[in-house]
Chains A and B, each alone.
Chain A
Amino acid sequence: MQKHQYEVVVVGAGGAGLTAALYASKTASTAVISKLYPTRSHTGAAQGGIGAALGNTEEDHPEWHAFDTVKGSDYLGDQEAIDFMAAEAVDAVYELEHMGLPFSRNPDGTIAQRPFGGHTNNETGKPVRRACYAADRTGHMILQTLFQQSIKNKVTFFDEFYVLDILIVDGKTAGVVALELATGEMHIFHSKTVIIATGGHGRVWEITSNAYSYTGDGIALTLRKGIPAEDMEFFQFHPTGIYRMGILITEGVRGEGGVLTNGEGDRFMEQYAPTVKDLASRDVISRAMYLEMKDGRGIDGKRYLNLDVTPDVVNHYAEIDGRKNPDGSPYRVTASDILNKLPDIIDFCETYIGVNPISDPMPVQPTAHYAMGGIPTNKFGEVVVDEKNTVLPGLYAAGEVACVSVHGANRLGTNALLDLIVFGKYSGLKAAEYSANEPYIDLPKDPTAYALQQLDGIRKSNGQERMIDIAAEMKEVMFDHVGVFRVEEGMQEAVDKIRELKGRFKEIRVDDKGLKYNMNLIEAWELSNLIDIAEVTAVSALARKESRGAHSRDDYTERDDKNWLKHTLAWMEKDGVRLAYKPVQITKYQPKARKY
């Protein structure tokens, strides 16, 4: 067993973790612990852009960005935090550029921006170019740039270390316990602060755009420590995942003029969102797709639709929409424009489904994509643990794992990358500030006891259940019943099923009994995380008797502000999940009907 001491420990090395580390390490001793090499993090899979009202090609304002985000959240986002994020966005993007991020450029040399779902000119209601992009690999460029700067600034990394426990002593943060994957050795990190930046948990669902590594590690750790998870019923299904595989096809495709069509060849979004059509927010589009397929208008009657970005189709609908370039000329694209702006999308489609998007439409279906819910924090990334937003000293969370809440019931595209940078930065600054003023808390007497007890339970497990079966059953029931559309009976079935799986998990078989790179053991631990998260998600969803954002019910079809304009808090307790609620912070924008 090895012991380390750092004032700030960051868990996770994606966009939020690296940003937090860059800021914290300016003034505090800082270590980043990550189960993956940093550049493997899922931030790198983000494609379309990072939202900021730079106004490089047309009028735009942070206030418009804030309002669009509130509306996109179906009024469940906390408005002070949203104002803060939208205002910080502009400098956040300039700062990334100053770190060398190779954004695509406009002819005048400024950062290029494209339209994205739900981002509008607040006066006309039409789409606005707000998404700052680097071709269709914006997340890749953000991750690489932050990693490069971490090397330049000599940030300390513990790569391929898996955190098993957060140490909390007398209500204050004292460090983490981690397993070194290469050796199987335990490490204790004694710290003043911990910043959790472990990303999301899309692997709960069958069809997902998320990496294998997206197993909700951070939320599972805090749930086991008696910290609630917020708004877990709100999980975003991105409208355009590759059929059956779930691989993300960026909303940037529609930003560049692509349209969704059904089995009858109709551009159906005209019916559902007459003003912005294919650039409505994701919940609206995924729901429309579900309805189209349910009514038999999938392609060849199957459970997918077409996403068409072939130049003829783009130009046809651009003419109908009267879409203009920034200089006022009619918007038209050529095959080479599409190739230059969406090279990775074309590569994915050719590699995995043998389709060239320049000549043929892409088969797509909604894919589990992003957790709006997570560990509750305030706008400085401080973790808050109850209905009164009481801060747990020394503990922070940022990025997809956190719920600030700036995304409410539905996140707008481009706001995830923004969230990473803004709240990564402030959690890093706050953790460093706390470290400057507070002492180390003494470690508990036997710091690894709790982690080892759980780990040994899994390691020694020698039952007959196969992990692959338990995972498949969980993913299926969650996709079918806690997915794009939900009803009481289905969600109850999911809750019952997850509880059954929780019991069966105790009888799993772990083949690998070794220490060195025991990925079998880690995967079992990750599966236990996913099961806990599935349970909390299904129970939170079952209780919310309304439709709001990504939580869409066939049996309660309307938003109910009178009873449900509130955040869910879910605690994992011995006899199940306990729920409570806290108010939404509303400042400038009173809830109103949502039309696109």
Chain B
Amino acid sequence: MQVTLKIFRYNPEDNLKKHYDTFTLEADPTDRILDLLERIKGTEDGTLGFRRACAHGVCGSDAIRINGVNRLACKVLVQDLKSRNVTIEPILGLPIEKDLIVDMEPFFDHYRSVMPYFVNDDPPPKKERLQSPEERERFDDTTKCILCAACSTSCPSFWVNEEYVGPAAIVNAHRFIFDSRDQAAAERLEILNEQFGVYRCHTIFNCTDACPRDIQVTQAIGEVKKAIVDGRLD
């Protein structure tokens, strides 16, 4: 079948303004959008800029907007789309570097701000720290995050205010706050209780819809809010 891709273009090194280029190509229903981008780059325009690595949804490199919603280019097949006309744009809310490539540094700054690492200052035992399957299950969902930024850059609160830490940072804080082995939940909750923390979330659910790992992002944010209000972890 024939598919038409309308792709956002911007290169600060040429004199052209931001614009769209259109490419029409033969595609199989089972082709990934990433396969099509690769084909355009290989056969029509080698200057097309986008990131990719694993090509099967686990590395988080290729979050883009496909027909207005955030998706990984490697996890959407042609047959998943309602239309054969596909608009491809960079994710919103981060500075555009070139074509579909955005500056990820503001995103990682937010991530780093919530202490996204394990803290336990007790001397470790000789073997593993014990954790029951139920305790492990408590934070299982948020361990799946691949830091693709699809959630944060789908969030209207994030678009409006770049200082908001965003759903991805909260998801990663959640992963440690609810880990029975960790000792820094109180500090993380304090960080997220600040002006640009969890209360910027207005439960719009875009993040949950955007997550390519099916993480219940809004629910995780809700659990963090509750922990702040209740002053305890359930």
Binding site for B on A (CB under 8 A): 36-37, 39-42, 44-45, 54, 93-94, 97-100, 102-111, 134-135, 137, 140-141, 144-145, 148-149, 151-152, 182, 211-213, 245, 247, 344, 347-348, 351-353, 466-468, 509-512, 514-517, 519-520
CB closest residue in chain A, given B55? A212
Q: How far is the CB of B74 from chain A (nearest CB, A)?
A: 9
- Which residues on A sit within 8 Å (CB–CB) of B225? none
Contact call B136/A105, Cβ cutoff below 8 A? yes
A-B contact count (CB 8 A): 157
Instruction: Determine which of B41, B42, B147 lies in contact with A39 in the assembled complex, contact meaning CB atoms within 8 Å.
Output: B147
Q: How far is the CB of B33 from chain A (nearest CB, A)?
A: 12
Contact call A44/B42, Cβ cutoff below 8 A? no
CB closest residue in chain B, given A101? B118
A-B contact pairs, 15 of them (CB 8 A): A36-B59, A37-B104, A44-B58, A97-B128, A100-B120, A104-B136, A105-B131, A105-B136, A107-B133, A110-B130, A140-B146, A144-B145, A212-B52, A511-B45, A519-B49
State which residues 32-53 of B face A: CB under 8 Å. Answer: 32, 39, 41-43, 45-47, 49-53
Contact call B61/A520, Cβ cutoff below 8 A? no
Instruction: Determine which of B46, B104, B181 lies in contact with A510 in the assembled complex, contact meaning CB atoms within 8 Å.
Output: B46
Contact call B47/A520, Cβ cutoff below 8 A? yes
Contact call A351/B43, Cβ cutoff below 8 A? no
Most buried by A among B39, B56, B132, B143: B56
Query: CB-CB contacts of B208-222 with A at 8 A, as 1s and 0s?
Result: 000000100000000
Contact call A45/B179, Cβ cutoff below 8 A? no
Contact call A100/B130, Cβ cutoff below 8 A? no
Given contacts A149-B118, A211-B55, A468-B43, 10 further A-B contacts (CB under 8 A): A37-B61, A39-B146, A39-B147, A97-B128, A105-B135, A141-B143, A351-B57, A466-B42, A468-B39, A511-B45
Contact call A110/B128, Cβ cutoff below 8 A? yes
- Which residues on A sit within 8 Å (CB–CB) of B41? 520
- Which residues on A sit within 8 Å (CB–CB) of B47? 511-512, 514, 520
B194, CB-defined interface residue at 8 Å: no
Q: How far is the CB of B34 from chain A (nearest CB, A)?
A: 9
- Which residues on B sit within 8 Å (CB–CB) of A137? 58, 143-144
Given A94-B127, A97-B129, A105-B136; A351-B75 close (CB under 8 Å): yes
Contact call B46/A512, Cβ cutoff below 8 A? yes
Contact call B176/A516, Cβ cutoff below 8 A? no
Contact call B13/A100, Cβ cutoff below 8 A? no
Q: How far is the CB of B107 from chain A (nearest CB, A)?
A: 10
Instruction: Determine which of A151, A212, A467, A516 lies in contact with B98 in the assembled complex, contact meaning CB atoms within 8 Å.
Output: A516
Contact call B59/A211, Cβ cutoff below 8 A? yes
State which residues 80-137 of B face A: CB under 8 Å. Answer: 97-98, 101, 104, 108, 112, 116-120, 124, 126-133, 135-136
Contact call A44/B146, Cβ cutoff below 8 A? yes
B30, CB-defined interface residue at 8 Å: yes
State which residues 187-228 of B face A: CB under 8 Å. Answer: 214
CB closest residue in chain A, given B129? A97
Contact call B129/A98, Cβ cutoff below 8 A? yes
Query: CB-CB contacts of B130-166 with A at 8 A, as 1s and 0s?
Result: 1111011001100111110000000000000000000
Contact call B132/A109, Cβ cutoff below 8 A? yes
- Which residues on B sit within 8 Å (CB–CB) of A247? 56
Q: How far is the CB of A352 from chain B (nearest CB, A)?
A: 7
- Which residues on B sit within 8 Å (CB–CB) of A103? 128, 136
B3, CB-defined interface residue at 8 Å: no
CB closest residue in chain A, given B104? A37
Secondary structure of the B side of the interface?
loop
- Which residues on B sit within 8 Å (CB–CB) of A516? 11-13, 97-98
B54, CB-defined interface residue at 8 Å: yes
CB closest residue in chain A, given B126? A94
- Which residues on B sit within 8 Å (CB–CB) of A182? 97
Instruction: Determine which of A140, A152, A514 lies in contact with B117 in the assembled complex, contact meaning CB atoms within 8 Å.
Output: A152
- Which residues on B sit within 8 Å (CB–CB) of A39? 59-60, 146-147
CA distance A511 to B48 in the complex (A): 9
Given A152-B117, A514-B11; A344-B58 close (CB under 8 Å): yes
CA distance A352 to B30 in the complex (A): 7
B77, CB-defined interface residue at 8 Å: yes
Contact call B128/A36, Cβ cutoff below 8 A? no
- Which residues on B sit within 8 Å (CB–CB) of A515? 13
CA distance A519 to B11 in the complex (A): 13
Contact call A520/B46, Cβ cutoff below 8 A? yes
CB closest residue in chain A, given B144? A137
Q: How far is the CB of B13 from chain A (nearest CB, A)?
A: 5
Q: How far is the CB of B18 from chain A (nearest CB, A)?
A: 15
Instruction: Determine which of B43, B133, B175 lies in contact with A466 in the assembled complex, contact meaning CB atoms within 8 Å.
Output: B43
- Which residues on A sit within 8 Å (CB–CB) of B140? 102, 135
CA distance A520 to B13 in the complex (A): 15
- Which residues on B sit within 8 Å (CB–CB) of A517? 49, 97-98, 101
Q: How far is the CB of A233 from chain B (nearest CB, A)?
A: 26
CA distance A212 to B182 in the complex (A): 36
Closest 9 CB pairs of A and B: A100-B118, A511-B46, A468-B42, A109-B130, A148-B117, A152-B117, A98-B124, A520-B46, A512-B47
- Which residues on A sit within 8 Å (CB–CB) of B32? 352
CA distance A338 to B128 in the complex (A): 25
Contact call B179/A100, Cβ cutoff below 8 A? yes
- Which residues on A sit within 8 Å (CB–CB) of B131? 105, 109
- Which residues on A sit within 8 Å (CB–CB) of B176? 100
Given A102-B136, A137-B144, A352-B56; A36-B116 close (CB under 8 Å): no
- Which residues on B sit within 8 Å (CB–CB) of A466? 42-43
CB closest residue in chain A, given B142? A102
CA distance A516 to B103 in the complex (A): 12
CA distance A97 to B130 in the complex (A): 10
CB closest residue in chain B, given A244? B30
Q: How far is the CB of B95 from chain A (nearest CB, A)?
A: 11
Contact call B53/A40, Cβ cutoff below 8 A? yes
Q: How far is the CB of A164 from chain B (nearest CB, A)?
A: 20
Instruction: Determine which of B58, B116, B214 lies in contact with A151 in the assembled complex, contact meaning CB atoms within 8 Å.
Output: B116
Contact call B58/A140, Cβ cutoff below 8 A? yes
- Which residues on B sit within 8 Å (CB–CB) of A104? 133, 136
Given A100-B181, A211-B54, A468-B43; A45-B117 close (CB under 8 Å): no
CA distance A351 to B112 in the complex (A): 31
CB closest residue in chain B, given A35? B53
Contact call A44/B118, Cβ cutoff below 8 A? no
CA distance A184 to B116 in the complex (A): 31
Q: How far is the CB of B77 from chain A (nearest CB, A)?
A: 7
CB closest residue in chain B, given A93? B128
Q: How far is the CB of B178 from chain A (nearest CB, A)?
A: 11
